[in-house]
Structures are given as structure tokens and as C-alpha cells.
């Protein structure tokens, strides 16, 4: 099956009221775990590669891994998405390598550390959207800066993250500005900031509305009911995986992620794409540690990889089921990129912002 675009997949999700997890991949094992889970419950898939993933595996290798997955699982629509593109070159080279969707993250400058101005963000995102739509590919933009409302900063361990102190007005997307941004950039999906951050150390306690501002999603959805919203930093950092890691020599301090029920609440208010990387990393690492501790004589990497993939597969499947993604793969007929390009050119996929304002 040809790869699906993000736009087509999220339009389907919106029509039927479900959300789609977007899992980061860097290698074959992660790809296999995700597709096995998807095939078991008939879920369409978003695979996303960060700039780090592209340099780790190489563009050619990533493309062929994903191509192999489409051949192995022809019944599953797969979207290949660039995670946190930092400039036009990253986004366009991704499309050249077969990605059907890109995130142009203009909330930060190209160094991915400096908070960008609104004008800069609109400008660069609009340029990428124009170019991507000419060839039918989709674009996710970001408005607002990811960061912890508790600490007033982004998670430093991550490859991309704002440097220095952030105030709440930067870390909470402004709903009025969101309307303007979608209209000005014509993005297909909008990532918003409301207190989540990348990595495992999101919250020092189980989050409430003070530190995980789900109300921001509800406010933006009320103003932009037709816009597909994206939650970044949405790993749940399950206690069981923290315990698995720490029972086998790990030293992760107690931490809290985004509860799955909060994501489900988001999905009821327009969230269609949910970014998850950390949970999958923890699933793999937990099993690597377990095998290493329990079988210290073991030296066959497959003996590490197989239980690790199973742990990840179980996590991925749970998210497909809880987000309502399960059962939808077989309901989708993929629209080729060239057809999507024609639809953009005709104006049929323009953002329905005016309607939102009138409502």
C-alpha cells in the first residue's frame, strides 16, 4: 500500500472521533513492534522520525525500513512524518526521501533552542506549507513552546527544547493567535503547548489542571473545531515501566507523565495526533535491563530484542485501543500524493477557519 498523508488520516480520525498515536522510530525493531500491534487491532499508523533518527539510521535506511513495513503489512495505512523539522531544508529533504508529512516547528528558531517570534513562525511555516502542498504532502505547525509549567523550562535532555526560562504565556498556546496562525499558514495540523514536555521528567506529581492545562485544548477546539490538534510530549511514563527499569539496575527518579485518560479527554476535544517516544524507549530499555540482569551470560542481541519488542508492542497496542485507532485501518482507502496535491490546489483542503469564527 502507498503511504498515507497525515492530512487524509487525521481527516478520517476527525470524522470518526478517534486519535492516532504518532510513534517515533529509529530502527527496524521499533517499526516491527508498532506494525505488529497495528495489524493485531486493525489500526492505521503514524511513524515519525526526528532529525536525530534520520542521522542515526540514515535517510535511505529509514525509507527502506518503512517501505519494507508497507510490503509486510499491506493492509495497514502508514504515514511517515518528520518530527520537529527545524527549517525548510529538513522538511523538503524529508519529502524527497518519501515522507508524506512534515512538522515545521517554527516555535523555535532553526537551532531548536531559541524561542522564535510569532512573525518568524508564521513566515517559515507558510513557506513550508506552500511547498509541501504543491506535492500533496501534509504539514504540522506548532504554536506555543513546549515546557514544564512547574519548572518554567523545557526538558534539557531532549534534542530540541527551548533554552532558558519560559513564562506561562509562552508555554500556553493563545487561542486567538491559534485562529490567526491556522488561517495564515494553512497547516493541516496544529501542535499546541499546554504544559507537556519531552522526555520522562514531565511532572513531579500526578498532573492536575495547574500543570497540565487541558483547558487550553478545549478553548482552541471551540474556536477551531475543524483543525486537527496535536499533543507533543504525551508519553504516560507508566509506573510499571519505571519499576521494571529500576528493579533491574536503573536509577530513574520517580516521575509522572500524561495520564492516558487526559489524552482521551483531549481526543474528545479535537486532538487527533498524540506524540509518543519516551514510553516506547522505556519499554525497550526495561527489557534490555531485565535480560542483562537475569541472564548475565547472554550475548545474543536477539535475546534482548525479542522481549523488548514484545513489551513495546503491548504498549503500542494499548494506545491504539484506548485512543480509538483500532478497527480503522480497513476503513481507509489511501489517496495518492498527486491527488492530494490537486485537492490542495483546488482549495478543497483550505482551513475552515471562517466558519469557526462565525460559529
Ligand X SMILES: O=C(CO)COP(=O)(O)O
Please identify every residue annotated as catalytic: 83
Nearer to ligand X, 230 or 356 (CB): 230
Among Zn ion, ligand X, ligand G3H, none, residue 53 binds (CB under 5-8 Å by kind): ligand G3H
CB of 54 to ligand G3H, least distance (A): 9
Strand residue runs (E) in the chain: 20-24, 45-49, 78-85, 101-104, 138-143, 189-192, 228-231, 271-276
Q: Is 277 in the site for ligand G3H (CB under 6 A)?
A: yes
Report 154-183 residues binding ligand G3H (CB under 6 A).
Answer: 158-160
* DSSP states of 107-121: TB-TTSSSBPPHHHH
Report 189-208 residues binding ligand X (CB under 6 A).
Answer: 198-199
Q: Which helix (H) or strand (E) holds 29?
A: helix 28-41
Task: Tell how strand 45-49 and strand 228-231 pair up.
Answer: unpaired
Nearer to ligand X, 232 or 289 (CB): 232
Q: Is 234 in the site for ligand X (CB under 6 A)?
A: yes
Nearer to ligand X, 234 or 242 (CB): 234
> Is the separation of the CB atoms in 187 and 180 below 8 Å?
no
Q: How far apart are CA 209 and CA 194, in angstroms?
A: 10
Nearer to ligand G3H, 11 or 155 (CB): 155
Question: Could you tell me which residues come within 8 angstroms of residue 347 by beta carbon, excluding any fewer than 6 positions away?
Answer: none
Instruction: Find the radius of gyration of the CA atoms of the chain.
Output: 19
CB of 146 to ligand G3H, least distance (A): 8
Report 290-349 residues binding ligand G3H (CB under 6 A).
Answer: none
Task: Retrieve residue 145's grid coordinates.
Answer: 513552546
Task: Retrieve residue 277's grid coordinates.
Answer: 517516544
CB of 280 to ligand X, least distance (A): 8
Contact positions vs Zn ion (CB under 5 A): 158, 198, 232, 275
Closest among 190, 191, 152 to 171, alpha carbons compared: 152
Q: How far apart are CA 282 and CA 237, in angstroms?
A: 8
Nearer to ligand X, 232 or 334 (CB): 232
> Is the separation of the CB atoms in 65 and 31 below 8 Å?
yes
Tell which one of 57, 66, 276, 282 touches ligand X (CB under 6 A).
Answer: 276
Write out the residues near ligand X by the rule CB under 6 A: 24, 83-84, 198-199, 232-235, 275-278
Write out the residues near ligand G3H by the rule CB under 6 A: 24, 50, 52-53, 83-84, 158-160, 198, 277
Amino acid at each position: 500500500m502507498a503511504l498515507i498523508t497525515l492530512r487524509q488520516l487525521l481527516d478520517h480520525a476527525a470524522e470518526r472521533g478517534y486519535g492516532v498515536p504518532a510513534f517515533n522510530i529509529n530502527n527496524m525493531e521499533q517499526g516491527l513492534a508498532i506494525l505488529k500491534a497495528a495489524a493485531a487491532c486493525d489500526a492505521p499508523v503514524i511513524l515519525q522520525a526526528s532529525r536525530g533518527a534520520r542521522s542515526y539510521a540514515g535517510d535511505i535506511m529509514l525509507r527502506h525500513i518503512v517501505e519494507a513495513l508497507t510490503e509486510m503489512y499491506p493492509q495497514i495505512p502508514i504515514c511517515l512524518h518528520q518530527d520537529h523539522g527545524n527549517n525548510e531544508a529538513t522538511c523538503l529533504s524529508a519529502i524527497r526521501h518519501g515522507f508524506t508529512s512534515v512538522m515545521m516547528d517554527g516555535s523555535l528558531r532553526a537551532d531548536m533552542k531559541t524561542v522564535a517570534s510569532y512573525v518568524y513562525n508564521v513566515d517559515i511555516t507558510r513557506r513550508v506549507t506552500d511547498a509541501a502542498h504543491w506535492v500533496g504532502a501534509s504539514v504540522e505547525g506548532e504554536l506555543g513552546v513546549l515546557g514544564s509549567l512547574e519548572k518554567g523550562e523545557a526538558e534539557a535532555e531532549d534534542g530540541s527544547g527551548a533554552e532558558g526560562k519560559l513564562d506561562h504565556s509562552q508555554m500556553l498556546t493563545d487561542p486567538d493567535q491559534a485562529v490567526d496562525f491556522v488561517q495564515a499558514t494553512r497547516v493541516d495540523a496544529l501542535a499546541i503547548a499546554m504544559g507537556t514536555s519531552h522526555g520522562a521528567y514531565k511532572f513531579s506529581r500526578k498532573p492536575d489542571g495547574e500543570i497540565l492545562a487541558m483547558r487550553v485544548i478545549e478553548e482552541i477546539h471551540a474556536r477551531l473545531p475543524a483543525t486537527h490538534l496535536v499533543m507533543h510530549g504525551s508519553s504516560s511514563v507508566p509506573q510499571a515501566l519505571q519499576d521494571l527499569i529500576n528493579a533491574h539496575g536503573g536509577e530513574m527518579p520517580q516521575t509522572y507523565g500524561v495520564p492516558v485518560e487526559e489524552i482521551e479527554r483531549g481526543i474528545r476535544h479535537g486532538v487527533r495526533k498524540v506524540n509518543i517516544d519516551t514510553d516506547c524507549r522505556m519499554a525497550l530499555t526495561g527489557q534490555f535491563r531485565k535480560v542483562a540482569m537475569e541472564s548475565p551470560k547472554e550475548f545474543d542481541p536477539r535475546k534482548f530484542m525479542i522481549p523488548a519488542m514484545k513489551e513495546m508492542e503491548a504498549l503500542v497496542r494499548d494506545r491504539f485501543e484506548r485512543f480509538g485507532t483500532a478497527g480503522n485501518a480497513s476503513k481507509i482507502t489511501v489517496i495518492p500524493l498527486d491527488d492530494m496535491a490537486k485537492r490542495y490546489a483546488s482549495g478543497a483542503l483550505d482551513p475552515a477557519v471562517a466558519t469557526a469564527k462565525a460559529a
